[in-house]
């Protein structure tokens, strides 16, 4: 049974944004700045370029071959069924650990304001809340995500305006022009060296993961020919607005070595310049960001499991829809796994669990994006070789195949450097089995048995 097409243009736009702005953005930016120094803003710009190239590949595929299953079906069709199975389960697992990390981050923030209740209980509450949101009708989910994403974009805009005024010495308790004081001191732009900059590139890419949701939502969009290209164009500018500009402001007015994971660096900047009330309000609004990103992530995870079933890579019973058009069995299975991971925070220090879960998501997301680019490469190659009369492509990846291969090369390079980094190597070791095992199981067992 096909998914209902009820999502509108504004829903698609905001769901894509909701997938990349959460607690990990507001808290994780502090880690990135501390690791890279002022060059963090350049890393976000490079991550934005990779994101645009990957999503451009995805847009061509979506508009040329609209299928339920999204990138999983494309990988199955244009690369191999085994790769489709591998990337589908790898992506599912990466989101299964990412959604709990967002809930735990939201729990940490709530505990800061209301310390009487422990972080695990807050995290579990947020997990149940986003589960209820996703079990509602798809249109209701779209409306909720639309409202929460507007809140997030608004507080980023507010921070950027305040930061620019601080930079020029117009407001704050230190009314003086800052200039390049923080950009040039303490080691310069590449404060910790070029290798540290490169080794954290995969974290930059993982920060943008969630934008592929525009493809997953296409099967529930009324008019994907219009909504998907429009979302692609807007994502480019929004990534600049969401990541590059705020990060550039932070490293321009705040000592990079003082940034950390202990508290949102955005709030730290506001406190430094005497805006304590705004900093407190900012912290509360970040919780809305956590709910939104967690909800978008859960939406994506449920649809990826549904896609595995739709492409005969998981049991057919997972495709069952509720009366309101929600993949009910896929939802219940996904929610159970998410709540199980969240429950680990009762036994493991929440701060430690949060950072480890966040690190584990990068590999799966990168593998997903690489297969999207390879799928587009092989699709276009087949399309160009077709001697029969062929239907013109609605959207074409610019400068094919050069930019397609550039996107692939940059992401493979990021994974190689991830392996070379001692501090981040664990996520590489964890990620390999999540791709290789489903590949081998499908290729040498399920493909012959065909149990589904």
pLDDT in tens, 202-215: 666 666 776 776 65
From the centroid of its chain, how far is CA 260? 21
3-state class percentages of the chain: helix first, strand second, coil last, to nearest 5:
75, 0, 25
From the centroid of its chain, how far is CA 387? 39
Separation of alpha carbons 81 and 75, rounded Å? 7
pLDDT at 409: 93
**Which residues in the chain land under pLDDT 50?**
1, 4, 6, 69, 451-452
Are the C-beta atoms of 6 and 15 separated by less than 8 Å? Answer: no
Burial of 167 (0-12, 13-18, 19+ CB in 10 A): middle
Six token digits for residue 401: 């195949």
Separation of alpha carbons 45 and 43, rounded Å? 5
Where exactly are the structural domains of the chain? 9-449
Six token digits for residue 441: 């199981």
Separation of alpha carbons 348 and 279, rounded Å? 29
Got the DSSP string for 114-148? -TTS-HHHHHHHHHHHHHHHHHS-HHHHHHHHHHH
Six token digits for residue 13: 């736009």
Separation of alpha carbons 157 and 262, rounded Å? 23
pTM equals 0.80
Report helix, strand or coil for 441. helix
pLDDT digits (tens, 9 = 90+) for 122-156: 999 988 988 887 777 555 556 666 777 777 778 88
Separation of alpha carbons 91 and 303, rounded Å? 11
Report helix, strand or coil for 391. coil
Are the C-beta atoms of 96 and 262 separated by less than 8 Å? Answer: no
pLDDT digits (tens, 9 = 90+) for 207-254: 677 677 665 555 555 566 666 666 666 666 767 777 888 889 998 999
pLDDT at 368: 87
Nearest-5° Cα angle at 220, 214 to 223: 80
Are the C-beta atoms of 262 and 39 separated by less than 8 Å? Answer: no
Are the C-beta atoms of 48 and 240 separated by less than 8 Å? Answer: yes
pLDDT at 17: 61
**Would you give the DSSP letter of residue 39?**
G
How many CB atoms within 10 Å of residue 334?
A: 27
Which of 246, 240, 276 lies closest to 259, judged by CA? 246
pLDDT at 452: 47
Its CATH class, for the domain covering 9-449, is mainly alpha
How many CB atoms within 10 Å of residue 277?
A: 9
pLDDT at 217: 57
Residues 6+ apart with CB under 8 A from 157: none
Q: Which residue has the tokens 């905001």?
A: 14
Q: How many residues does the chain have?
A: 452
108-123 as b/e: b if 16+ CB within 10 A: bbbbbeeeeeebbebb
> Torsions phi, psi of 302, nearest 5?
-60, -45
């Amino acid at each position: 049974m096909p998914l209902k097409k009820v999502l509108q243009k504004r829903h698609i736009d905001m769901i894509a944004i909701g997938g990349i702005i959460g607690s990990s953005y507001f808290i994780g930016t502090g880690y990135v700045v501390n690791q890279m120094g002022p060059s963090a803003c350049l890393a976000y710009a490079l991550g934005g370029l990779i994101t645009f190239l990957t999503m451009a590949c995805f847009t061509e595929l979506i508009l040329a071959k609209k299928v339920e299953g999204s990138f999983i079906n494309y990988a199955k069709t244009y690369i191999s069924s085994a790769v489709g199975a591998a990337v589908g389960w790898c992506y599912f697992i990466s989101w299964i650990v990412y959604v709990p990390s967002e809930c735990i981050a939201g729990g940490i923030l709530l505990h800061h304001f209301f310390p009487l209740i422990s972080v695990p209980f807050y995290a579990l509450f947020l997990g149940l809340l986003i589960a209820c949101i996703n079990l509602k009708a798809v249109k209701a989910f779209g409306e909720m995500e639309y409202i929460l994403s507007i809140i997030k974009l608004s507080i980023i805009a507010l921070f950027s305006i305040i930061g620019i005024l601080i930079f020029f010495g117009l407001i704050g308790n230190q009314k003086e022009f800052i200039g390049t004081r923080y950009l040039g001191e303490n080691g310069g732009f590449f404060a910790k060296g070029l290798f540290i900059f490169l080794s954290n590139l995969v974290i930059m890419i993982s920060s943008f993961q969630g934008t592929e949701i525009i493809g997953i939502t296409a099967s529930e969009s009324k008019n994907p020919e219009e909504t998907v290209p429009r979302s692609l164009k807007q994502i480019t500018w929004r990534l600049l607005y969401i990541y590059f500009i705020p990060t550039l402001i932070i490293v321009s007015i705040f000592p990079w070595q003082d940034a950390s994971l202990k508290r949102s660096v955005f709030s730290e900047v506001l406190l430094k310049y005497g805006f304590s009330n705004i900093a407190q309000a900012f912290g509360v609004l970040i919780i809305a960001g956590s709910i939104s990103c967690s909800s978008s992530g859960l939406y994506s995870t449920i649809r990826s499991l549904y896609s595995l079933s739709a492409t005969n890579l998981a049991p057919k019973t997972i495709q069952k829809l509720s009366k309101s058009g929600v993949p009910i069995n896929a939802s219940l299975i996904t929610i159970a796994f998410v709540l199980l991971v969240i429950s680990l925070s009762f036994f493991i220090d929440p701060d430690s669990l949060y950072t480890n879960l966040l690190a584990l998501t990068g590999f799966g997301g990168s593998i997903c994006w690489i297969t999207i680019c390879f799928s587009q490469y092989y699709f276009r190659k087949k399309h160009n070789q077709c001697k029969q009369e062929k239907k013109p492509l609605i959207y074409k990846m610019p400068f094919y195949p050069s930019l397609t291969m550039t996107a692939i090369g940059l992401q493979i390079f990021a994974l190689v450097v991830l392996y070379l980094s001692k501090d981040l190597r664990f996520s590489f070791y964890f990620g390999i089995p999540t791709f290789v095992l489903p590949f081998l199981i499908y290729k040498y067992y399920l493909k012959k048995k065909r149990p589904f």
